[in-house]
């Protein structure tokens, strides 16, 4: 694996690239140059190659050729964080000395992605995001525990894992020190969003034996190719390090969280009430949308889109034959047993059926398919109560089987298209297959990645994936859910909305269950800006498609268009728009010459 970004996706630790102005984009793609592109390319490549090697030395990224479980945990103390800030600021100065117009076409794209990546890193360090290493969705300790759920495929994975566990006391101590610094300046998640979030700590602390903790999971089924005596040795060392390093550290963490941190977290919800909060929220909008938008503008887009979607919902209700108003229909969907699985296994099998149904139509809409397959698994029990309905990435589609009356079957087709294929578990492996891109291009840009996955939900209607008006309404409810995020996120963080006001807005405009609404709103409160990426990203892709259809006419080919969008990997939205302009100028030809379009 070239990068940790794909693995972080499943634990919620997404790396998202910041905005870039459209005027800058036009200059990036200008072909005129007074300098030799080869020499300028070499200067630029030297900058990002050196910086990437530095990231690896900082243990912020895996070595390019490293596959498996790394043996290290990064340093996260304040001194190290300040050193990183100084380093990335210097990188920006170096980039300022390069005129992107003088780069080759390929490196212009790399420059556009890379510069925004570094600018986001600088902003994150300047605002000291590392002093808040948790939110309602995830936390540093749950990210650490998730390593135990990864695939161990060789002997070194076990020894490296043991080395990581030995370092847990140091790593957790530095994280807690950072959280104390955040407490002192009021830089914390709102207290309401952290209620019950210590359950994943408790599950380790209160385990009857070290073998009952999540951290022992890799040792329960050690590779058969490892000799029996060595297997016993690895289990013994694993038990020892869990007993002596992990368990005492988790006890300290639980005491710290309950007695020191949680009681002193802030009560206000909005990001703008944080230190330098107005600038902080603006930086988050730029990070997650890749566009220089104001909160008020985004809020209005959301309100307008909700009105449009509500009209489509009304037509779908009429098509279903239901007699009653909108709210009565929502109540019907939320309460009728026909719409809910009876067992976790049924929900998982329904998701698998939908995923295979997509396989049957995939070649009609995509010319180039990823080589990597994915498994469908339940969300782990210790994370499920506060986890989203599902989450996908390279190799896996996690389906939340907790609280089955909250997991509507009419929403499952849209969820599966988004998280599995052709969404995250489809798009991300395609990025990793592109070996000619520099490794920093494997970063996950939320506006692109989430925009694509939400577009896949919309595409499901065209692909014939929604078989009943209820399925279609589930898709529309999900579209309304993401449009409502534009209203709710900006409402909470900039316009003074309460938690109850945000919950009511989702309740009145979507078919989400009460449990999902509470979980989702707390995520938006604790993670400012992230929820804006989905719908704005989808709108950008739909805009690109409409432009291509109108420009190409009969030459427009949906498979070639999708291949072109996916070819770029994660890029800022303005760069995607310029890429589709080139696709149009090239006559709508697909990027893979050996694929039939």
**Residue for token digits 């994943």?**
200
Single out the residue of 33, 11, 120, 83 nearest to residue 387, CA to CA.
11
β-bridge mates for residue 375, sequence order: 396
Tell me if 236 is assigned to some domain.
no
Q: Which residues contact 545 (CB under 8 A, 6 or more apart)?
A: 561
Residue-wise pLDDT for 366-411, tens only, equals: 999 999 999 999 998 878 888 889 999 999 999 999 999 999 999 9
Tell me if 216 is assigned to some domain.
no
Tell me if 138 is assigned to some domain.
no
Tell me if 144 is assigned to some domain.
no
Single out the residue of 267, 360, 309, 347 nearest to residue 473, CA to CA.
309
Single out the residue of 310, 367, 293 nearest to residue 558, CA to CA.
367
**Could you give the number of structural domains in the chain?**
1
Strands 375-378, 396-399: pairing is parallel
Q: What domain range is 429 assigned to?
A: 290-535
**Residue for token digits 């290290």?**
72
User: Which pLDDT score, from 0 to 100, does residue 63 have?
Assistant: 58
Tell me if 569 is assigned to some domain.
no
Is residue 448 within 8 A of residue 373, CB to CB? The reply is: no
Rounded alpha-carbon distances, angstroms, from residue 520 to 127, 153, 418, 439, 526: 25, 35, 17, 32, 10
Single out the residue of 181, 168, 75, 92 nearest to residue 129, CA to CA.
181
User: Which pLDDT score, from 0 to 100, does residue 461 have?
Assistant: 97
Rounded alpha-carbon distances, angstroms, from residue 167 to 130, 144, 233, 249, 356: 19, 11, 20, 10, 42
Residue-wise pLDDT for 437-487, tens only, equals: 999 999 899 999 999 999 999 999 999 999 999 999 999 999 999 999 999
Rounded alpha-carbon distances, angstroms, from residue 289 to 175, 330, 350, 486: 28, 31, 33, 11
Is residue 584 within 8 A of residue 546, CB to CB? The reply is: no
Q: Which residues contact 302 (CB under 8 A, 6 or more apart)?
A: 483, 484, 485, 486, 487, 488, 490, 535
555 token code pair: 């030459």
The segments of the chain whose pLDDT lies below 50 read 1-34, 64-65
Buried b or exposed e, range 344-357, using 16+ CB within 10 angstroms: eeebbebbbebbeb
User: Which pLDDT score, from 0 to 100, does residue 597 have?
Assistant: 63
75 token code pair: 């340093």
* Rounded-to-integer distance, Cα 281 and Cα 299, Å: 14
365 token code pair: 């809409």
Q: Which residues contact 501 (CB under 8 A, 6 or more apart)?
A: 491
Tell me if 589 is assigned to some domain.
no
User: Which pLDDT score, from 0 to 100, does residue 35 have?
Assistant: 58
Tell me if 411 is assigned to some domain.
yes
344 token code pair: 């976790």
- Helices and strands in the chain, H and E counts: 25, 3
Query: How many CB atoms within 10 Å of residue 263?
Result: 9
**Residue for token digits 């556009």?**
112
Single out the residue of 278, 247, 265 nearest to residue 131, CA to CA.
265
User: Which pLDDT score, from 0 to 100, does residue 594 have?
Assistant: 63
Is residue 9 within 8 A of residue 428, CB to CB? The reply is: yes
Where does residue 583 rank: exposed (0-12), middle (13-18), buried (19+ CB within 10 A)?
Answer: buried
Tell me if 184 is assigned to some domain.
no
* Rounded-to-integer distance, Cα 266 and Cα 247, Å: 29
């Amino acid at each position: 694996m070239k990068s940790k970004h794909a693995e972080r996706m499943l634990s919620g630790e997404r790396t998202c690239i910041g905005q870039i102005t459209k005027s800058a984009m036009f200059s990036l793609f200008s072909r005129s140059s007074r300098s030799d592109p080869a020499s300028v390319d070499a200067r630029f490549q030297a900058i990002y190659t050196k910086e990437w090697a530095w990231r690896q030395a900082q243990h912020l990224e895996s070595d390019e050729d490293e596959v498996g479980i790394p043996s290290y945990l990064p340093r996260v103390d304040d001194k190290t964080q300040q050193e990183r800030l100084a380093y990335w600021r210097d990188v920006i100065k170096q980039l300022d000395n390069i005129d992107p117009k003088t780069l080759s076409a390929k490196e212009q794209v790399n420059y556009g992605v890379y510069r925004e990546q570094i600018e986001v890193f600088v902003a994150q360090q300047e605002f000291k995001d590392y002093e808040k290493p948790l939110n309602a969705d995830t936390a540093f300790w749950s990210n650490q525990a998730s390593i135990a759920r990864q695939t161990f495929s060789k002997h070194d994975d076990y020894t490296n894992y043991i080395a990581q566990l030995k370092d847990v006391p140091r790593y957790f101590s530095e994280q807690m020190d950072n959280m104390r610094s955040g407490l002192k300046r009021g830089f914390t998640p709102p207290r309401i969003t952290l209620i019950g979030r210590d359950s994943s700590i408790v599950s380790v602390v209160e385990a009857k034996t070290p073998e009952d903790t999540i951290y022992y999971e890799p040792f329960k089924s050690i590779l058969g190719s490892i000799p029996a005596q060595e297997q016993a040795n690895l289990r013994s060392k694993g038990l020892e390090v869990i007993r002596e390093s992990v368990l005492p550290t988790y006890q300290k963490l639980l005491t710290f969280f309950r007695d020191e941190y949680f009681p002193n977290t802030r009560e206000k919800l909005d990001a703008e009430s944080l230190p330098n909060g107005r600038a902080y929220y603006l930086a988050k909008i730029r990070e997650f949308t890749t566009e220089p938008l104001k909160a008020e503008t985004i809020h209005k887009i959301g309100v307008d889109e909700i009105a449009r979607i509500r009209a489509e919902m009304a037509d779908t209700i009429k098509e279903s034959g239901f007699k009653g108003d909108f709210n009565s229909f929502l109540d019907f969907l939320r309460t009728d047993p026909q719409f809910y699985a009876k067992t976790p296994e049924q929900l998982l099998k329904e998701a698998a059926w939908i995923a295979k149904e997509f396989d049957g139509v995939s070649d009609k809409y995509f010319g180039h398919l990823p080589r990597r397959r994915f498994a469908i698994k339940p969300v782990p029990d210790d994370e499920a109560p506060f986890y989203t309905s599902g989450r996908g990435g390279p190799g896996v589609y996690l389906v939340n089987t907790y609280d089955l009356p909250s997991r509507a079957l009419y929403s499952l087709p849209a969820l599966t298209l988004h998280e599995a294929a052709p969404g995250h578990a489809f798009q991300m492996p395609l990025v990793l297959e592109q070996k000619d891109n520099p490794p920093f291009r494997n970063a996950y840009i939320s506006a692109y990645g989430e925009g694509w996955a939400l577009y896949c939900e919309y595409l499901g209607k065209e692909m014939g994936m929604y078989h009943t008006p209820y399925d279609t309404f589930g898709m529309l409810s999900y579209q309304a859910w993401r449009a409502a995020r534009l209203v709710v996120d900006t409402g909470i963080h900039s316009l003074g909305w309460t938690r109850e006001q945000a919950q009511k807005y989702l309740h009145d405009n979507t078919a989400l269950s009460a449990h999902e609404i509470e979980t989702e709103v707390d995520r938006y409160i604790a993670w400012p800006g992230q929820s804006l990426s989905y719908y704005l990203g989808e709108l950008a892709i739909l805009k690109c498609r409409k432009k291509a259809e109108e420009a190409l006419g009969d030459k427009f080919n949906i498979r070639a268009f999708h291949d072109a969008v996916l070819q770029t990997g994660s890029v800022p939205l303005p760069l995607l728009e310029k890429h589709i302009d080139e696709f149009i100028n090239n006559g709508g030809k697909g990027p893979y010459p050996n694929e039939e379009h």
